């Protein structure tokens, strides 16, 4: 009996926070009485015990166990049977402390299921985890003089990309294995990291990241720019290493870096395991549970899901593969059961390798899978954000090259369109069109990624031998077969996909599977409701293009022209228009430099006269260019009891008439000498990061929680302010902010000027008559 043989054992497990690991922990706790689990998890910020509690035990896999024991009973059982240990397979000695070492010393079974399963992870990280992880475990156990049965989870795809039988034999026994030293692979991977890091820090490269960051953010201030630049650099390094991983894997005949590092991990473990008895479990593609802990249970976004959902969304119109080909999928509970069976059986002499796959005994034909998916999504269509069902495309099984070319073409066209859009000075609805383009391009890019990564699997025609697995199955008695079923022949693929897997995929992918109910809430109105919840504390507003369609230049032109005769007015217009390109460029580079430079023009302006003229300007310029809906929104916030704040780089006398609209105004102001303005700013104008600072200072001073606050702004230069609050709102955003807002799920508002007002290029004041 499996459960009896495992009862009372001390079992160490790595990778318990993962998909397979969580299922394994659940099964052992539920089906094996009194075994004790030592869970080796990376401590992270919260520490191992917290992570076990939050990331493992709270998972819905434990629902039935929790129901059976009650919350208190469950907690008590977990405390009694689980020892969390902080450890990391990428650290020497697994990074264990004394307690951890002691806990491991007492274990007689060690299940290593930690892996870097992402198919496009950076080469060096994949090597550290997948290749060196098992080696470090073996060495650590040797240091502890412990010789537990080590069960290492690998993958069937260590066989490489090939056709025909792939049997349960050591990697290097295969005639197709290309010989290479695992030590050399490790060195090369580490070198790649150094090289990529060095390459990313050349002045040229850094300048290019900086320019990309500026392109992305606009004049958002230096700290924001620096953070973005560094983020772009790190991403570039990782992309290069992922690329390095893909090409090294391909050069050795593996579909990707995962299979490649796993294969060499097996080799390295064989060389370094010494006295430790090792069994290797090789599952194929692990998918949602057939029955346990619950039908359809899944954790994380697995390999096939993105593809399936991309298809259901109509993004992936074609996918490479042959209809006769086999997609080797195995439900997670079968893998867990086989691990338990191997553990109960114990180590054997000689290489012990067991493959858990379906392809040879119960093949899922690619054509069949496509039919199943198509049928299901035809019956249960996914709905787009406008509430329209998306028709699923016909699948024509083209070669990989054709699909990639198609996607590339579409991607390039969209990229060009998007670039053009970004150059256009568009806002609001049109800018959102631009954001849509960007989204589509990203979707294409993602689809291309799937094709690159998973195409190899769909095209893989290796048949994974299951002799040992089936022999093990045959050795079980009926009770064990009932309790620990791992026979891949029992899966009915039609039932599995239609009733179990696809419903689970769309649920965990949070795909919209029903049309919005009549009068139901759209995404915008839901976000708007959150923004206008009485729970909010503060609503901060930018001025230009958020409340009014105007800017400091227009404001100056109006005030300056107020007392000019017609000839001088013309001259002012000509001069301002001539300077416009330079001013615009300066504004794009640095907003506060621009304001400083521009506001010098007010030098010598009499304070009284400006105050009088500003009152007129309020009607003629500000209100006539205001967005009525934006003003209404400020008032709605006030009516809800939120504090309202205007934060703007505009000058105090310009915004003074807006004071009754807000609780407070933070704005720029000029110094005064002898009743005239001296053209110098009294303090740093609240733009970019200074605006963020002003906002946080204000919130601190009034004891308001920014996470419960709303900010309205129109441009990426306002990002620091928008990111500072819990509920950012992009108002008439330009393309870049529109796409950011879309991606981050921010509310986007189109506030328009009142219909029927004329646009003036440069607003001049109506000439004053009389004295």
What residues make contact with other proteins under the rule CB under 8 A?
A: 615, 618-620, 623-626, 628-629, 631-632, 635, 657, 660-661, 753-758, 766, 768-771
Comparison of 358 and 546: residue with beta carbon closer to other proteins: 546
Comparison of 38 and 658: residue with beta carbon closer to other proteins: 658
Comparison of 164 and 770: residue with beta carbon closer to other proteins: 770
Comparison of 91 and 767: residue with beta carbon closer to other proteins: 767
Query: Looking at beta carbons, which pairs linking 248-252 to residues 24 or more positions away fall under 8 Å?
Result: 248/123, 248/185, 248/188, 248/189, 252/160, 252/178, 252/180
- The distance of closest approach from Cβ of residue 625 to other proteins in the complex, given in angstroms and rounded to an integer, is 8
- Rounded alpha-carbon distances, angstroms, from residue 569 to 563, 579, 765, 766: 9, 15, 10, 11
- The distance of closest approach from Cβ of residue 567 to other proteins in the complex, given in angstroms and rounded to an integer, is 21
The CA radius of gyration of the chain, in Å to the nearest whole number, is 32
Is the CB of residue 760 less than 8 Å from the CB of residue 459? no
- The distance of closest approach from Cβ of residue 637 to other proteins in the complex, given in angstroms and rounded to an integer, is 12
Comparison of 54 and 632: residue with beta carbon closer to other proteins: 632
- The distance of closest approach from Cβ of residue 657 to other proteins in the complex, given in angstroms and rounded to an integer, is 6
**3-state secondary structure at position 758:** coil
Query: What values do phi and psi take at 734, rounded to 5?
Result: -75, 175
- The distance of closest approach from Cβ of residue 524 to other proteins in the complex, given in angstroms and rounded to an integer, is 16
CB neighbours of residue 725 within 10 Å: 25
Comparison of 207 and 615: residue with beta carbon closer to other proteins: 615
Q: How far apart are CA 455 and CA 320, in angstroms?
A: 6
Comparison of 683 and 758: residue with beta carbon closer to other proteins: 758
Q: How far apart are CA 630 and CA 547, in angstroms?
A: 5
- The distance of closest approach from Cβ of residue 675 to other proteins in the complex, given in angstroms and rounded to an integer, is 21
Tokens of 498: 């239609």
- The distance of closest approach from Cβ of residue 19 to other proteins in the complex, given in angstroms and rounded to an integer, is 50
Comparison of 320 and 428: residue with beta carbon closer to other proteins: 428
Comparison of 145 and 758: residue with beta carbon closer to other proteins: 758
Does an H or E element contain 28, and which? helix 19-31
Beta-strand pair 352-356/278-283: parallel
Q: How far apart are CA 632 and CA 525, in angstroms?
A: 16
- The distance of closest approach from Cβ of residue 686 to other proteins in the complex, given in angstroms and rounded to an integer, is 23
- The distance of closest approach from Cβ of residue 752 to other proteins in the complex, given in angstroms and rounded to an integer, is 11
Q: How far apart are CA 496 and CA 290, in angstroms?
A: 7
Q: How far apart are CA 52 and CA 261, in angstroms?
A: 27
Angle at 260 between CA 134 and CA 345, to 5 degrees: 45
Nearest Cα neighbor of 287 from 270, 263, 309, 303 is 303
Nearest Cα neighbor of 260 from 177, 337, 141 is 177
- The distance of closest approach from Cβ of residue 426 to other proteins in the complex, given in angstroms and rounded to an integer, is 21
DSSP string, 507-562: HHTT---SPPPTTPPPHHHHHHHHHT-TT--EEEE--BTTTBS--HHHHHHHHHHT
Tokens of 572: 């002012």
Comparison of 350 and 755: residue with beta carbon closer to other proteins: 755
- The distance of closest approach from Cβ of residue 562 to other proteins in the complex, given in angstroms and rounded to an integer, is 13
Comparison of 624 and 669: residue with beta carbon closer to other proteins: 624
- The distance of closest approach from Cβ of residue 30 to other proteins in the complex, given in angstroms and rounded to an integer, is 57
- The distance of closest approach from Cβ of residue 615 to other proteins in the complex, given in angstroms and rounded to an integer, is 7
- The distance of closest approach from Cβ of residue 572 to other proteins in the complex, given in angstroms and rounded to an integer, is 22
- The distance of closest approach from Cβ of residue 628 to other proteins in the complex, given in angstroms and rounded to an integer, is 4
- The distance of closest approach from Cβ of residue 561 to other proteins in the complex, given in angstroms and rounded to an integer, is 16
Cβ neighbours of residue 333 closer than 8 Å, sequence gap 6 or more: 23, 27, 289, 290, 291, 292, 293, 485
Comparison of 113 and 617: residue with beta carbon closer to other proteins: 617
Widest CA span in the chain: 109
Q: How far apart are CA 272 and CA 646, in angstroms?
A: 66
Place of tokens 């992305």: 216
Burial of 512 (C-beta count, 10 Å sphere; 0-12/13-18/19+): middle
Comparison of 294 and 631: residue with beta carbon closer to other proteins: 631
Comparison of 459 and 750: residue with beta carbon closer to other proteins: 750
- The distance of closest approach from Cβ of residue 612 to other proteins in the complex, given in angstroms and rounded to an integer, is 12
Comparison of 519 and 660: residue with beta carbon closer to other proteins: 660
Beta-strand pair 109-112/10-14: parallel
Q: E-assigned strands of 198-356?
A: 278-283, 285-287, 329-331, 352-356
Is the CB of residue 543 less than 8 Å from the CB of residue 554? no
Place of tokens 């930690």: 114
- CA of residue 61 relative to chain centroid, distance: 24
**3-state secondary structure at position 105:** helix
Beta-strand pair 278-283/149-153: parallel
Nearest Cα neighbor of 152 from 343, 280, 344 is 280
Nearest Cα neighbor of 281 from 241, 234, 332 is 332
Nearest Cα neighbor of 713 from 217, 324, 328, 264 is 217
Comparison of 396 and 566: residue with beta carbon closer to other proteins: 566
Comparison of 671 and 766: residue with beta carbon closer to other proteins: 766
Tokens of 563: 């007392």
């Amino acid at each position: 009996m499996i459960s009896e043989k495992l009862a009372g054992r001390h079992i160490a497990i790595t990778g318990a926070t993962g998909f397979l690991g969580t299922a394994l922990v659940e099964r052992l706790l539920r089906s094996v009485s009194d075994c004790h689990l030592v869970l080796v998890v990376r401590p992270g910020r919260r520490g191992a015990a917290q992570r076990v509690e939050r990331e493992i035990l709270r998972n819905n896999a434990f629902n039935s166990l929790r129901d059976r024991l009650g919350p208190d009973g469950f907690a008590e059982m977990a405390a009694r049977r689980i020892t969390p240990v902080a450890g990391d397979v990428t650290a020497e000695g697994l990074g264990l402390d004394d307690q951890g070492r002691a806990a491991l010393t007492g274990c007689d079974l060690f299940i290593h299921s930690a892996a870097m399963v992402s198919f496009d992870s950076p080469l060096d990280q994949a090597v550290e985890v997948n290749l060196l992880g098992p080696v470090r475990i073996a060495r650590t156990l040797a240091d502890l003089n412990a010789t537990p049965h080590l069960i290492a989870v690998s993958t069937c795809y260590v066989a490489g990309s090939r056709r025909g039988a792939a049997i349960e034999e050591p990697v290097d026994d295969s005639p197709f294995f290309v010989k290479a030293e695992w030590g050399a692979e490790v060195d090369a991977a580490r070198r790649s990291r150094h090289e990529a890091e060095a390459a990313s820090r050349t002045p040229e490269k850094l300048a290019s990241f900086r320019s990309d960051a500026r392109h992305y953010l606009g004049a958002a201030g230096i700290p924001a720019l620096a953070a973005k630049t560094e983020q772009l650099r790190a991403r570039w390094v990782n992309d290069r290493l992922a690329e390095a991983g893909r090409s090294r894997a391909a050069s050795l005949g593996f579909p990707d870096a995962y299979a490649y590092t796993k294969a060499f991990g097996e080799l390295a473990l064989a060389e370094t395991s010494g006295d430790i008895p090792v069994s290797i479990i090789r599952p194929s593609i692990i998918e949602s549970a057939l029955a346990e802990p619950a039908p359809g249970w899944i954790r994380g976004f697995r390999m096939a899901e993105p593809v399936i959902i991309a298809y259901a969304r109509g993004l992936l119109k074609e996918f490479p593969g042959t209809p006769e080909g086999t997609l080797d999928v195995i439900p997670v509970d079968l893998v867990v059961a086989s691990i338990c069976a191997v553990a109960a059986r114990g180590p054997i002499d000689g290489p012990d390798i067991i493959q858990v796959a379906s392809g040879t005994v119960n093949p899922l034909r690619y054509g069949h899978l496509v039919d199943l998916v198509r049928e299901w999504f035809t019956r249960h269509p996914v709905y787009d954000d406008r509430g329209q069902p998306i028709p699923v495309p016909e699948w024509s099984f083209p070669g990989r090259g054709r699909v990639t070319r198609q996607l590339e073409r579409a991607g390039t066209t969209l990229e060009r369109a998007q670039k053009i859009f970004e150059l256009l000075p568009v806002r609001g609805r049109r800018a959102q069109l631009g954001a849509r383009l960007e989204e589509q391009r990203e979707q294409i890019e993602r689809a291309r990624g799937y094709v690159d990564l998973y195409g190899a699997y769909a095209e893989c025609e290796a048949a994974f031998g299951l002799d040992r697995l089936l022999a093990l199955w045959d050795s079980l008695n009926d009770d064990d077969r009932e309790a620990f079923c791992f026979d891949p022949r029992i899966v009915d693929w039609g039932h599995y996909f239609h009733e179990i897997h696809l419903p689970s995929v769309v649920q965990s992918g949070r795909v919209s599977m029903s049309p919005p109910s009549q009068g139901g809430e759209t995404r915008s109105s839901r976000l708007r409701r959150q923004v206008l919840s009485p729970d909010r504390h503060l609503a901060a507003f930018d001025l230009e293009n958020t409340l009014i369609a105007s800017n400091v230049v227009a404001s100056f032109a109006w005030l300056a022209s107020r007392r000019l005769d017609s000839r001088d007015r013309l001259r002012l217009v000509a001069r301002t228009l001539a300077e416009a390109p330079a001013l615009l460029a300066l504004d794009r580079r640095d907003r506060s430099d621009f304001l400083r430079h521009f506001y010098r023009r007010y030098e010598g302006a009499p304070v009284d006269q400006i105050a009088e003229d500003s009152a007129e300007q309020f009607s003629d310029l500000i209100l006539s260019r205001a967005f009525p809906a934006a003003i209404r929104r400020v008032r709605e916030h006030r009516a809800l009891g939120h504090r309202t704040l205007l934060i703007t780089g505009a000058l105090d006398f310009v915004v003074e008439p807006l004071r009754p609209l807000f609780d407070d105004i933070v704005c720029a102001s000029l110094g005064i000498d002898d009743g005239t303005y001296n053209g110098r700013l009294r303090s740093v104008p609240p733009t970019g990061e200074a605006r963020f600072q002003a906002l946080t200072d204000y919130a601190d001073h009034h004891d308001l929680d920014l996470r419960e606050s709303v900010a309205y702004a129109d441009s990426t230069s306002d990002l620091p302010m928008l990111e500072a609050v819990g509920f950012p709102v992009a108002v008439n955003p330009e393309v870049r902010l529109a796409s950011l807002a879309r991606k981050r799920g921010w509310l986007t508002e189109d506030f328009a000027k009142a219909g029927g007002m004329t646009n003036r290029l440069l607003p001049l004041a109506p000439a004053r008559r009389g004295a």
